[in-house]
Chains A and B, each alone.
Chain A
Amino acid sequence: MKTLVFDSSSIISISEKCFIKVFEHLSKKAELAIPKRVEFETIIHPGHIKAFELNALRIRMALREQWLKSIQLTPEFLQLAVQIKNTANNCFGINDRPFVLIQDGEAETLALVKQLNAEMLVIDERNTRMLIEDIKGLQEYLSKKIAPLSANEKRISELKRLVSGISICRSSELIALAFEQGFLDEELEKSRESLEAALYAVRFSGCAVSEREIQEYLRKF
C-alpha cells in the first residue's frame, strides 16, 4: 500500500472545514501517517485550549478510527530529523546569523517521509514546500520580503541530498481528488460551484494555494 505523510498545516486545513471524512476514503487507498510531533501539535496541545478543542477532537477521531496513524520516529530517523532541522536552519543567513526556517514539527514530518519511504508529503505550509521544491526561489522570496539573505551553498547541497525525491501535494489537491472521486457527494452536490467553495474553504483555512491556481484549475469544469 502507498503511504502519504501529513504535517500539521494540512491536517488542520482539512479538519477545520469539516472534511475529516476525506481521510476515511483516502485511507482505503493509502496509509496516512503523521509523526508524533504532529499528533502533539494538532491534538494534545490544542486539546487544552477551548477555542481549538473541537478540531483536535475531530483529528483524534480520525486517529481512533485508524484513518490516520501516528508513527514514532526510530532513533535513526529522529537523528535525521535533527540533521534536517540543523541543515535547513543554516542554509540562509541574515546579519551574520542563521535564518531559522523550520521547527521540529516540519523536520520530523520530513524524516517520517524518509522512514516510511512514503510516496508523498501533504503539506500546506509555504516555506517547507519551497525548501524542498525550489530553495533558490525561497531565497529570492525571503530576500524580497525581509532582507537580503546570504546562502550557504554547502548546507543547501546537503539539504537537497537529505530531502531529495519528496513529492508534495497540499490539502487543495486532496479536496480536488475527493471531489472528482465522489468522496464529498454526501455533503456537497457535484457542481463547479461546490468545488470552488471547497477549494476556497481550505485556502481560508491557511492552505498556501493562490487564487490564480484555483481559478486555473476550475477552468476545466
Chain B
Amino acid sequence: MRQDFAKAKPFRLKALSKELIEEAALNNDKLKALMALIAYSLYKLCSKAHVLESPKWKFAREQILQHLDKGIVELRAKKFKEFELELQKAVEDISKIDSEISNYAVAVFEKAKTKLASTAYSFGLSLGQAAALTGAGKKDLLNYIGFTKMHDEAGVSLGISERLKKLKEVLAT
C-alpha cells in the first residue's frame, strides 16, 4: 500500500483494498479491514485531479506516508497496537485533507466504509457483520446494496405470495 500510494498508482490501491477486505471478511480481521479502508480512501484521493493539484496535498501526502512508514516499522516488530495507532493517524490525515479540499459533504473515509462493507456483504457476510467489520452504518449499507444485484443471486426459498399468505393468516386469526 505504501509503495502504491507513494508512486500514485490509484488502481493498484483499489485492487489492494478489495484483496484486503476479502481477507478481513474471511478471518473477521478488523485490522485488515482498516487497511482496506485506508487503501480505498487513498485510491479515491489519488484519482481526483483537484486533490492532486491542491497546494495542501503535498504536505498531507508526506504526513500520510510518514504514518505508513512508522506503521511498517511497528508491524515488522510485531507491535500490532502501535501499528494500528499509526494507521489511525493516517486516517486522521486522510480525513483532514479530505475535509479541506473535497467537494462532497460526505467524507471519503465514510464512503469507503459503506463501499467496502458492501463488498464484504457480497462475499457472504451478514449485514450486521459487514457493517461491524468496517464501521459502516446499517442504513447506508442497506441503501448501497439495495441498488446492486446482490439480492438476485441468493436462492429463493419462499416468494412474496407465499410469505404474504402466511402473514395474512397470522393477522386474520
Main secondary structure of the interface of B (DSSP, over half): helix
Report if A102-B151 is in contact (Cβ < 8 Å); known contacts: A30-B171, A207-B146, A217-B160. Answer: no
Contact B152 A210, beta carbon cutoff 8 Å? yes
B-binding residues in A (CB < 8 A) = 2, 4, 8-9, 12-13, 16, 29-30, 41-42, 46, 49, 51-52, 55, 94-95, 97, 99-106, 119-120, 124-128, 130, 133-134, 137, 141-142, 145-147, 167-170, 172-174, 176-177, 199, 203-214, 216-217, 220
19 CB < 8 A contacts A-B: A2-B171, A13-B142, A29-B171, A46-B139, A51-B106, A94-B26, A101-B126, A101-B129, A103-B129, A105-B128, A124-B142, A145-B123, A177-B171, A204-B147, A205-B142, A206-B127, A206-B146, A216-B160, A217-B161
What is the number of contacts between chain A and chain B, taking CB atoms within 8 Å? Answer: 155
Listed stretches B67-75, B79-87, B162-170; interface member: B162-170
A-binding residues in B (CB < 8 A) = 22, 25-28, 106, 122-129, 132, 137-147, 149, 151-152, 154-161, 163-164, 166-168, 170-171, 173
Report if A147-B128 is in contact (Cβ < 8 Å); known contacts: A137-B155, A209-B160, A213-B160. Answer: no
CB-defined contacts of B143 to chain A, threshold 8 Å: 16, 204-206
Main secondary structure of the interface of A (DSSP, over half): helix
Contact A213 B106, beta carbon cutoff 8 Å? no
Contact A204 B146, beta carbon cutoff 8 Å? yes
CB-defined contacts of B142 to chain A, threshold 8 Å: 9, 12-13, 16, 124, 205-206
CB-defined contacts of A133 to chain B, threshold 8 Å: 157-158
Among A51, A104, A173, A216: residue with most chain B CB under 10 A: A173
Q: Chain B: which residue is nearest A133 at the CB level?
A: B157
Contact B170 A145, beta carbon cutoff 8 Å? no
Distance in angstroms between the alpha carbons of A145 and B137 in the assembled complex: 23
CB-defined contacts of B164 to chain A, threshold 8 Å: 169, 173, 176-177, 217
Contact A127 B126, beta carbon cutoff 8 Å? yes
Distance in angstroms between the alpha carbons of A9 and B127 in the assembled complex: 8
Distance in angstroms between the alpha carbons of A146 and B125 in the assembled complex: 9
Distance in angstroms between the alpha carbons of A133 and B28 in the assembled complex: 24
Closest chain-A Cβ to B27's Cβ sits at a distance in Å of: 6
